[in-house]
Amino acid sequence: MSKRNYLKKTTRTAFLQLKAGQHILFSGIFYTARDQAHQRLVNLISANKKLPVNLENKIVYYCGPTTARSNQIIGSCGPTTSLRMDKFVEPLLKKGLLAMVGKGRRNKQVRTLIKKHKGVYFVAPSGCGALLHKSVLSAKTICFNDLGPESIQEITVRDFPLIVAIDSSGKSIYEDTE
């Protein structure tokens, strides 16, 4: 059995140490955002307007959690397909975004941008949203309330399972299939 790697610091220095293929258990804060929230953030950036969330050294989780039951903090919160967010990556990385979490491969341009901006792309276990919600300690809506489950939420997680899919040097777990 491999050694578990725990990650609790969301600093660029800590993330520079991560290597493609590494399995970690993350404890900290994610900001959930899917297609519509990304489009709104990019529109605000293009219009030189203030963002409702500071992206500097933050992690965006490509997720639209379902409504929580009365005894839950959050509903199912599995990752969505990352490729759909590729067109939004550059402006967000320029705003200081540290990492992204989703599922599946990214295009070559995103890999280049991750290397240029010293970011990281993680994959979370797909098909496990009902189980992943158990790692969530708190959740609150930050902005874009009208988007419902696609609003941006700040979620605090403990021991959330991730795999480094693209590290800050641009190495990818998908290299052999590209």
Catalytic residues, by residue number, are 38
Nearest residue to 51 (alpha-carbon basis) of 11, 91, 10, 9: 91
Cβ contacts of 66 within 8 Å, gap of 6 or more: 75, 76, 77, 129, 149
Rounded to a whole number, what is the distance in angstroms from the first to the last CA of the chain?
Answer: 29
β pairing state of 120-123 and 59-61: unpaired
Where does residue 165 fall: left (phi above 0), alpha (psi -120 to 50 degrees), or beta otherwise?
alpha
Cα angle 43, 77, 175; round to 5 = 75
* 150 contacts 37 by C-beta, under 8 angstroms: yes
Alpha carbon separation from 70 to 73, 74, 75 (Å, rounded)? 8, 9, 10
